[in-house]
Structure 1
Amino acid sequence: MIVTKITHGLGNQLFQYAIARHLSIRSDTALYVDLAYYRQFYESDTPREFKLHHFDVDYNILNTSPLLYVSKATKLFPNRSFRPFFKLVKEEGFAYNPQPFETRALMVTLDGFWQSERYFSGIGGLLRKELTVKKDLGPVYTAYRDQIAATPVSVSVHIRRGDYVHNTSFSQTFGFVGMEYYERAIARIRERFPNSRFFVFTDDHPWVAEHFRIGDDAVFVQNEGADSDLADLMLMRTCRHHIIANSSFSWWGAWLNERPDKYVIAPAQWFRNKPELDTKDLIPASWVKL
């Protein structure tokens, strides 16, 4: 069995599911999700909800029985090694590491963020099919979706501020990517696609309305309620091209777009103060880094 520890927000959850889904297919075994993270409070983290159950995905919720079995067995037979039965694969560094695919055990537990499409590139088509929201996202979502569909050259722009500005830990690690990045990215898009129309997604609508000048025909998407993140993600993937933030959320909004000719711009500097994190495998080779 494959167990993946699910943590943090929707973008991270999708990465953690994707690698586990690939491993479960390769090993022809069941996939379990460990949701212990959501039963705790972490002062440095932005509170998030588990969201994978809204997608057309198949998994089991981990209960304590497999772990208790291993624990009891080691107590009964303290001199016996149980490594063939249980292995924890903890992510080391940030670049792609083949270790999860080289680990052999009856129960493999994944603990990490696994932010590279190299962990699941072999099942890209399947994931894009599965990672579709099952529920009706409401009339506001539908109106935006139809508007995007009617736009010949639609471009999603994701501006993440929120905890990147107001959470001390996140602002030091990530930070708002800056207006200069968006200005350069928009200029690049307009040069390449003169008839483009921008659909702006953000978690800080008042700030964006005051500071972001992008043209009279731009659409500032405002989904509301508990499912606003799901609606935003599905609308992003509907757009033809993308300008993403240094955010796993908009990474997935762009990646889920199935069009082979999509044009994606991503920030060259993903982290603000983490030079030890190697991001070479984070951005797909076909995307443009600015």
Structure 2
Amino acid sequence: MITFFQLGKYGAIGNQLFQYATLYSIGKINNYTIKIPKTEEHFDEGTNRIQHYFLNCFDNIFAEILTEEDKKLIKYKAHDENAISYNQNMFNIPDFTTLEGYFQSYKYFIGFEQDLKKQFQFKKSIINSINAKYNINYKNFSSVHLRYGDYAHRQNYHPIMDKDYYKKAFELLDSSNYLVFSDSIEYAKVIFNDFKNINFIFVENNHAFEDMYLMSVCKDNILANSSFSWWAAWLNENNKVIAPKNWLGPAYYGRWNIEDLIPKEWIII
């Protein structure tokens, strides 16, 4: 049995999906039982908002629920030392281990993409809620994500993507209609105000997992440097994805590798 004691409390939904996908792949390769905690939503002081648990978004999660008795059986801890980096040695962990860290690399779950996409199918209640709210053909729109709020005072760690990044991204896509997602929608309106001949719809007042679903059904995706929009794009099918090369700031120098994070078929600018 392997688990992740802090799953649901070690970052928001995007981080949780990386952590679960890694846990699942390690378990399947080693034929270990996979168990995860049943965690409720909680307030995250770092982002100053409620963090939802990914288990509440999907119906088909493979893992069993971790019990208090199960916790007593755990003997080892395997910690991911780097912010974004693939460590093949993680697949050599012994049984009865709990993972700890971010595991932000698609390479951890190569070969398990279809398994995970089946598990990460959004609940019908989420889909129905979005379909009732937005009477549009999603494939006529691409998504663009701007992360600002909790990054504003931490740019040494998480740089904010500037107008020039989005200008280059728009030029690479053939879309003229965009759904805009942001944790600071008023700031996004200022940033995108100068772009002419583009139709923007600013998405507001949704739960985070509703936004992720909506991003995942758009035509193409322009990412912020955020695991949230990363996963929305990864769950999308047959799409073009634009991702920023400046994913992390200088505080993480030497601790991450863009090639471990961004799939080869995505466009990095």
TM-score for the superposition, normalised by structure 1: 0.80
Distance in 1, Cα, partners of 2:249 & 2:64: 36
Deviations 1:69-101 (A, max 9, x none): 46xxxxxxxxxxxxxxx3321112231111121
**Counterpart of 2:89?**
99
Distance in 1, Cα, partners of 2:263 & 2:135: 28
Q: Post-superposition shift, 1:278?
A: 1.9
**Counterpart of 1:211?**
191
Deviations 1:116-165 (A, max 9, x none): 111112111121121122141376611566524352xx321111111111
**Counterpart of 1:254?**
233
Q: Post-superposition shift, 1:271?
A: 0.9
Secondary structure of 1:187's partner? helix
Q: 1:286 is aligned with what amino acid?
A: E
2:176–2:197 CA contact under 8 A, matched in 1:
no
Gaps of at least 5 residues in structure 2 are none
**Counterpart of 1:15?**
18
Gaps of at least 5 residues in structure 1 are 71-85
Distance in 1, Cα, partners of 2:135 & 2:32: 40
Change in Cα spacing, 1:277 to 1:46, as seen in structure 2 (3 Å) is farther
Q: Post-superposition shift, 1:203?
A: 1.4
Change in Cα spacing, 1:131 to 1:15, as seen in structure 2 (3 Å) is same
Q: 2:165 is aligned with what amino acid?
A: Y
Q: Aligned pairs, how many?
A: 260
1:242–1:265 CA contact under 8 A, matched in 2:
yes
**Counterpart of 1:276?**
254
Q: Post-superposition shift, 1:221?
A: 3.9
**Counterpart of 2:145?**
158
Q: 1:124 is aligned with what amino acid?
A: E
Distance in 1, Cα, partners of 2:128 & 2:65: 32
Structure 1 residue runs of 4+, over 6 Å off?
35-39
1:3–1:20 CA contact under 8 A, matched in 2:
yes
**Counterpart of 1:55?**
58
1:145–1:235 CA contact under 8 A, matched in 2:
no
Change in Cα spacing, 1:134 to 1:92, as seen in structure 2 (3 Å) is same
1:244–1:265 CA contact under 8 A, matched in 2:
yes
User: Once superposed, what is the RMSD of the aligned Cα atoms?
Assistant: 2.6
**Counterpart of 1:184?**
168
Q: Post-superposition shift, 1:34?
A: 4.2
Secondary structure of 1:122's partner? coil
**Residue 134 (structure 1) aligned with residue 123 (structure 2):** yes
> Greater Rg, structure 1 or structure 2?
1
